[in-house]
Amino acid sequence: EDKVVQSPLSLVVHEGDTVTLNCSYEVTNFRSLLWYKQEKKAPTFLFMLTSSGIEKKSGRLSSILDKKELFSILNITATQTGDSAIYLCAAGLQMNRDDKIIFGKGTRLHILP
Partner 1 sequence: DADVTQTPRNRITKTGKRIMLECSQTKGHDRMYWYRQDPGLGLRLIYYSFDVKDINKGEISDGYSVSRQAQAKFSLSLESAIPNQTALYFCATSDPDSPPYGYTFGSGTRLTVV
The answer to whether 48 contacts partner 1 (rule: CB under 8 A) is yes
- Between 12 and 78, name the residue whose CB sits nearer to partner 1: 12
Contact yes or no for 73/22 (Cβ under 8 A): yes
The answer to whether 90 contacts partner 1 (rule: CB under 8 A) is yes
| Binding segment toward partner 1, per CB under 8 A, in 21-29, 39-47, 59-67, 71-79 | 39-47
- Among 106, 90, 73, residue whose Cα is nearest residue 30: 90
Among 26, 39, 55, 99, binds partner 1 (CB under 8 A): 99
Among 39, 60, 94, 110, binds partner 1 (CB under 8 A): 94
Q: Which residues contact 105 (CB under 8 A, 6 or more apart)?
A: 6, 9
Query: Helix, strand, or coil here: 70?
Result: coil
Which amino acid makes up residue 28?
T
The answer to whether 65 contacts partner 1 (rule: CB under 8 A) is no
